[in-house]
Each structure stands twice: as C-alpha cells, then as structure tokens.
Amino acid sequence: MKKSLIWLMAILLLLPCLTAMAETVPPPCELPENAARYATYAEAHAEMEWAEVLLHVNLRLDYPNYQGILYAQRPDSFAVFVNKHYKLPKSYKPEDLVTVAGKYSSKTVQLRAVCYEAFLCMAEDARAQGLDLYISSGYRVNKKSGGADSLWFAWPGHSEHQTGLAFDLRTRGPTKAHLGDYKYQNTREYSWLCENAHLYGFINSYPTDSSGLTGFGFEPWHWRYVGVTIATDMKNKGFATYHEYWATYLILRAWYAEEEVAPSRPHRPLVRRRVQPELLY
C-alpha cells in the first residue's frame, strides 16, 4: 500500500513534465529540395539558429518580396497559405461567397459561406458578452498598390482577403480614413477575440512583432478563418502566426507549384451547422 502511494505521488509529480514534453513544438520541416538554400541562408545569417533558418527559407524569405513565387494548387482549402511569396491563381474566385447581413456591416461585404457561418456563431456569443463584432471589409481583389516592402498593402493574389476567408473589424460610428485610426487593439472586442477566436476557427494573421515573418505590420483588425482544428492547435502550441504553423506542419503538402494552373477541385456545398472541430488539411 505504501509503495503504491509513493508510485502515485511520483506519477502526479511527473505528469506536468510529461504533458509539456507532449506539447513540445518540433522545428520547421527540413525539405531536401531546399538543402542548398538552407546552407546559403545560414551562411549569410550566422546569428540565426538552424530552426530559424528553416522557417525563413520555408517561407521563401530568402527571396526578395514578390519573387520566387509559388502558386496555390488548392486555393479553396481552408488551410491555403498566402504571403508575399505564395500566391493565389489569377483566375481564382471563391464559388461560395455570401453577403454579410447589414447588422454586422455598413456596406456590402462578402465572405466564403463557411467563414461567415463561423463568424455568425462567434458574433452571437460575443454579443451575449456585451460585445459588438462589426466588419469593415471581407473578400476583395487588391489592385497593385505600394512598394514590394510595404507593410500595409498586398499585391493582387497575395492577400488573404482574396481567399474569402479573412475580414477586417472596426468599431461602429463614423468611418475613419485608416483602420489603424480605430485603435482596435484597445477594445474589449479585441481582448475577447484573442482569448476566444480559436474556438470558432479564427486567428489574428498579423499580430505584434511579427512583420519580419509575415511581411505586414500589426493588424489587430484582421482575422482569418483556418478552421477550429488548426486555430485550436495553434493556440495550444503557442504559435503566434499561421506562417510559423504552416512552415512547421503543412508545407509538406503538395499544394503549391512554380507554374500557375486553373483550380480544378469541385466545390462542396455547405451544410448549416454550429462550429465544430473538423479536419481541414
């Protein structure tokens, strides 16, 4: 009996350590085809740890912005990755765009149906807490604006907005010149989203101190749907950006190519439902 108690106490003491080991995040994928680029980048950035070299090269940050581009072969995937080096096909337009209800936006805004369904669930729960989620913009195709190094403008095909899975939020009231003027990071809504958005499948794409990886400045208003599975896994593992998560877990998927091709994956109609965990990648 005494030995059993000792063993039980030992297991209880070790449990936090075992849990921490289970949640250890692996380094980004090391791809054989990138071996030469890893070596070159490591030599040019001797101050970097190897894991950081892998991350930067996997994100193609060893190329100048908007060069060394790969095209998404499955742009309709909830897990599609878009940045200054990974691009949507020029012909791509989501087939399941729906219009956001007027109570959630002052103008015509469209989102992909699955993103909108998740937003509605989130907005309803936020409203129960006395919060107001109000959309400023959703799906759009950007015109080329700003230089390649701009932190605030994405070139055509390189914006998450073009996926139909991202939207910008603001507070109600008079329209301001720039989204930054709303100071959304100081609102109760932003604090609530940071704690709860993953439960509905959303992430903040461009958090603080991440422009070195994302290529864009801090955008507290910009939220992206990646599905409950990915969003929750990111939250649990402490990933600040989808860029890091994608380069660690999803880059092995053969979803990108050097040549642009027309998307061919058939559209699957949405079934109305509450947000539930799903396997989307």
Q: How does DSSP assign the chain, residue by residue?
A: -HHHHHHHHHHHHHHHHHHHHHTPPPPPP--GGGHHHHHHHHHH-TTS-HHHHHHHHHTTTTSPTT-S-EEES-TTSTT---SSSEE--TT---S-EEEPPGGGBSS--EEEHHHHHHHHHHHHHHHHTT---EEEE-S--PPP-S-TT-SS-PPTT--GGGGT-EEEEE-SSS--SSGGGG-GGGSHHHHHHHHHGGGGTEEESS-TT-HHHHSS---TTEEEE--HHHHHHHHHHT-S-HHHHIIIIITTS--EESS-----PPP-PPPP---------
Catalytic option among 117, 189, 219, 244:
219
Predicted confidence (pLDDT) at residue 271 exceeds the cutoff of 50: no
Q: Where in the chain is the domain with CATH 3.30.1380.10?
A: 68-257
The whole-number average pLDDT for the span 10-29 is 51
Cβ atoms within 10 Å, residue 122: 23
**pLDDT for 106-155, tens place per residue?**
789 999 999 999 999 999 999 999 999 999 999 988 777 678 878 788 88
Beta bridge partners of 137: 168
Cβ pair 186, 222 in contact under 8 A: no
Contacts of 147 (CB under 8 A, 6+ apart): none
Say which CATH class 68-257 falls into. Answer: alpha beta
Whole-prediction pTM? 0.81
Residue 29: predicted pLDDT:
81
The whole-number average pLDDT for the span 169-185 is 79
pLDDT top residue among 224 and 24: 224
Token pair of 147, please?
Answer: 């230089």
Contacts of 2 (CB under 8 A, 6+ apart): none
> What's the rounded Cα separation, in Å, for the pair 54 and 48?
10
> What's the rounded Cα separation, in Å, for the pair 204 and 254?
25
Predicted confidence (pLDDT) at residue 240 exceeds the cutoff of 50: yes
> What's the rounded Cα separation, in Å, for the pair 280 and 165?
13
Confidence of residue 260 (pLDDT cuts 50, 70, 90): low
Predicted confidence (pLDDT) at residue 43 exceeds the cutoff of 70: yes
Note if 23 is an active site residue: no
**pLDDT for 69-88, tens place per residue?**
999 888 999 999 999 999 99
> What's the rounded Cα separation, in Å, for the pair 60 and 267?
30
Cβ pair 149, 201 in contact under 8 A: no
Beta bridge partners of 97: 112
Q: At what angle do helices 188-196 and 113-128 cross, to 10 degrees?
A: 120
- At residue 276, φ and ψ (nearest 5 deg) are -135, 155
> What's the rounded Cα separation, in Å, for the pair 206 and 198?
15
**pLDDT for 184-239, tens place per residue?**
899 999 999 999 999 999 999 999 999 999 998 999 999 999 999 999 999 999 99
